Chain A
Amino acid sequence: MARINSAAELEELRKDIVSKRDAAKPCVAICAGIACLGPGNDRVISAFEEEIRKQSLEARVEIRATGCHGFCEKGPIAIIYPGEICYLQVTPEDVPEIVSQTIVGKKVIDRLVYTDPDTGEKAARQSEIPFYRNQMRLLTGNSTRINPKSIEDYLAIGGYAALAKALFEMKPDQVIEEIKKANLRGRGGGGFPAGSKWQTARNAPGEEKYVIVNAHEGEPGAFMDRALFTGNPHLVLEGLIIGAYAIGSHRGFIYTRHDTPQLRENIAIALAQAEEYGLLGENILGSGFNFNVEVHLDVGIFVSGESSALMRSIEGKAPEPRPKYIRTSVSGIWDRPSNLNNVETWANVPQIISKGSGWYGSIGTDRSKGTKLISLSGNICNTGVVEVPMGTPLREIIYGFGGGIPNGKKLKAVHFGGPMGGSIPESLIDSPLDFDVLAELGTSLGAGDMLVMDEDTCMVEMARYFLDFLSGESCGKCVPCREGIRQMLKILTNITKGKGKEGDIQLLEEIAGVAGEAALCSLGRSIAKPLYSVLKYFRDEFEAHIKEKRCPALSCQELAASGGAKEK
Chain B
Amino acid sequence: MSEITLQIDGREVAARKGMTVLEAAKKAGISIPTLCHHEKLEPYGGCRLCTVEVEERGRTKMVAACLYPVEKDLVVKTRTEKVDRIRKMILELLLAHAPDAFELQDLALEYGADRDRFEKESSFCLHCGLCVRYCAEVKKKNAIGFINCGTRREISFIPEIASKECWNCKECFPLCPTEALQAAFVLTKALVFPSPLSELKG
Interface residues of A (CB under 8 A from B): 301, 303, 318, 323-325, 470-480, 482-487, 489-490, 510-511, 513-514, 517-520
Contacts and interface: CB of A to CB of B under 8 A. Distances in A.
Given A323-B43, A323-B67, A520-B45, A483 B94 contact: yes
Contacts of A471: 150-152
A510 B92 CA distance: 12
Given A476-B153, A482-B127, A518-B86, A324 B67 contact: yes
Interface stretch (B46-54, B158-166, B186-194): B46-54
A475 B51 CA distance: 20
The size class of the interface chain B forms with chain A is 35 or more
Given A484-B93, A514-B89, A518-B86, A478 B151 contact: no
B68 A483 contact: no
A328 to B, nearest CB: 15
Contacts of B47: 478-479
A517 B54 CA distance: 12
B64 interface: yes
A483 B151 CA distance: 7
A487 to B, nearest CB: 6
B44 interface: yes
Given A479-B46, A483-B94, A520-B48, A473 B63 contact: no
22 contacts: A323-B43, A472-B151, A473-B149, A474-B150, A475-B153, A476-B146, A477-B46, A477-B153, A478-B45, A478-B46, A478-B47, A479-B48, A479-B49, A479-B127, A480-B90, A485-B150, A486-B93, A487-B93, A511-B93, A518-B48, A520-B45, A520-B48
A230 to B, nearest CB: 27
A492 to B, nearest CB: 14
Contact of A476 (B43, B67, B118, B150): B150
A473 B150 contact: yes
Contact of B69 (A325, A482, A484): A325
Interface centre among A303, A471, A477, A482 (most CB of B within 10 A): A477
Given A483-B96, A487-B93, A514-B85, A520 B46 contact: yes
A520 B64 CA distance: 8
A131 B149 CA distance: 40
Interface in B64-86: 64, 67-69, 82, 85-86
A323 B67 CA distance: 7
Contact of A486 (B45, B68, B149, B151): B151
Q: Which of B43, B150, B152: most chain A CB closer than 10 A?
A: B150
Contacts of B148: 476
Nearest to A507: B117
Which of A301, A476, A513 is packed against the most chain B CB atoms within 10 Å? A476
Interface on chain A toward B: helix, strand, loop, or mixed SS? helix
B151 A325 contact: no
Given A325-B69, A510-B89, A519 B151 contact: no
Nearest to A299: B149
B93 A479 contact: yes
Contacts of A489: 151
A552 to B, nearest CB: 28
A419 B44 CA distance: 25
B151 A482 contact: yes
Contacts of A519: 48
A519 B86 CA distance: 10
Given A325-B67, A479-B127, A301 B149 contact: yes
B119 interface: yes
Nearest to B88: A514
Interface in B97-111: none
A510 B118 CA distance: 13
Contacts of A484: 93
A323 B48 CA distance: 11
Q: 5 closest A-B pairs (Cβ-Cβ)? A: A476-B153, A323-B45, A483-B93, A514-B89, A471-B151
B13 interface: no
B181 interface: no
Interface string B111-134: 000000011010000110100000
Contacts of A473: 149-150
B62 interface: yes
A181 B149 CA distance: 42
A484 B93 CA distance: 7
Contacts of B68: 325
Contacts of A479: 46-49, 90, 93-94, 126-127
Nearest to A483: B93
Given A477-B127, A517-B82, A482 B45 contact: no
Given A479-B49, A485-B151, 9 more contacts: A325-B63, A470-B150, A480-B48, A486-B93, A513-B85, A514-B90, A518-B62, A520-B48, A520-B64
A511 B45 contact: no
B86 A514 contact: yes
Nearest to B66: A323
A474 B152 CA distance: 10
A260 to B, nearest CB: 20
Contacts of B48: 478-480, 518-520
B37 to A, nearest CB: 12
B157 to A, nearest CB: 17
B17 to A, nearest CB: 14
A470 B149 CA distance: 10
B149 A475 contact: yes
Contacts of A318: 146
Interface in B5-51: 43-49, 51
Contacts of A478: 45-48
A511 B88 CA distance: 11
A507 to B, nearest CB: 8
B63 A475 contact: no
Nearest to B94: A479
Contacts of A483: 90, 93-94, 96
Given A475-B149, A482-B153, A323 B93 contact: no
Contacts of A325: 63, 67-69
Nearest to B64: A323
A472 B150 CA distance: 5
